[in-house]
Amino acid sequence: MAIKDILLPLVGEPNAAAIAAIDKCMAVAGDFGARVTAMAVEEDILVRPKVTISSDLENAAEAAAIRSVSDARGLLKAFDAAANRFGVRNEQRLNRLGSADIPGNFAESARLADLSMVPVKSDGGQSEQIAERLIFESGRPILMCPEERAPELAVAFDRVMIAWDHTAPAARAVADALPLLQDAAEVRIVTATDAKTPAELESGAALVNHLAEHGIKATFEAIRIDGSSVGKVFEAYVKANAIDLLIMGAYRHSRLNEIVWGGATKTVIGRPPCWVLMSR
């Protein structure tokens, strides 16, 4: 299925890094021929928790809310300019929500999109929360754009890496990425392991054969972890091989009623090494 309907959640300040990421997202959306719905949010201080606070804190909260109005409108202005520049059909939405409701609202909206493009900030924070909610609650894939790397990111995904471990999330990510894989010039399937078991080798070869049925020529290799972390191994591979797009499944588990990211997922979401398509 072609990617024709995209959600772009916009949060934070309309600084140079954010605007560069919006521009790059619109360039990619223009190549897709997709419609993009940009959603920005003004923070509603009236839905903050009802607790007794000092007048100084109350004034600071009001000032932050005022800044959020200016920031949201600044982001939409940058989006409008980029969408016009790249000829992208678009819609714009400006919602007023409490801060705790923002990630969930984005996740609900994403359920009726083919894909969410998520600009990820270098300091993590709210953009990581939004990415998490989109991955695990929208039922749709996300395409992360690292803001700090935006100027150097490719518009065409010619060199693609699939992080493969024969799990359900990895399989879902491959299926979601098929339209992008079919347009790629080079597809590399990579398993990070120190064992290189027959089962892992057979799984990689089977994925090569599966993709061939979709007209996709892919290669498979197993790379060693050697005491590092899987996330760091992927990052190094992306850099060494000039990968434009990394495709991977997302993992998390519960521990003492707390949601904990899987190691590679945490590393990649915190600092995407390139464009990253992630599914659950």
Structure confidence at residue 93 (pLDDT): 97
> What are the structural domains of the chain?
5-152 (3.40.50.620), 159-279 (3.40.50.620)
DSSP symbol at 233: H
Considering only CA atoms, which of 142, 217, 201, 204 is closest in space to residue 173? 142
Q: Whose CA is closest to 124, among 271, 275, 278, 276? A: 271
pTM: 0.90
Residues 6+ apart with CB under 8 A from 109: 7, 37, 39
Q: What are the pLDDT digits (tens) for 223-255?
A: 999 988 888 999 999 999 999 999 999 976 544
Instruction: Give residue 263's pLDDT.
Output: 72
Full strand arrangement of the beta sheet holding 142-146? 90-97, 35-43, 5-10, 115-120, 142-146, 275-279, 245-249, 159-163, 186-192, 218-223
Q: Give, for all 280 residues of the chain, the pLDDT tens digit.
A: 799 999 999 999 999 999 999 999 999 999 999 999 999 999 876 655 555 555 655 555 566 667 888 999 999 999 999 999 999 999 999 999 888 899 999 999 999 999 999 999 877 678 888 998 999 999 999 999 999 999 999 999 999 999 999 999 999 999 999 999 999 999 999 999 998 899 999 999 999 999 999 999 999 999 999 988 888 999 999 999 999 999 999 976 544 444 444 578 878 888 899 999 999 8
221, 190 contact by CB (below 8 A): yes
CA dist 97 and 47 (Å) reads 8
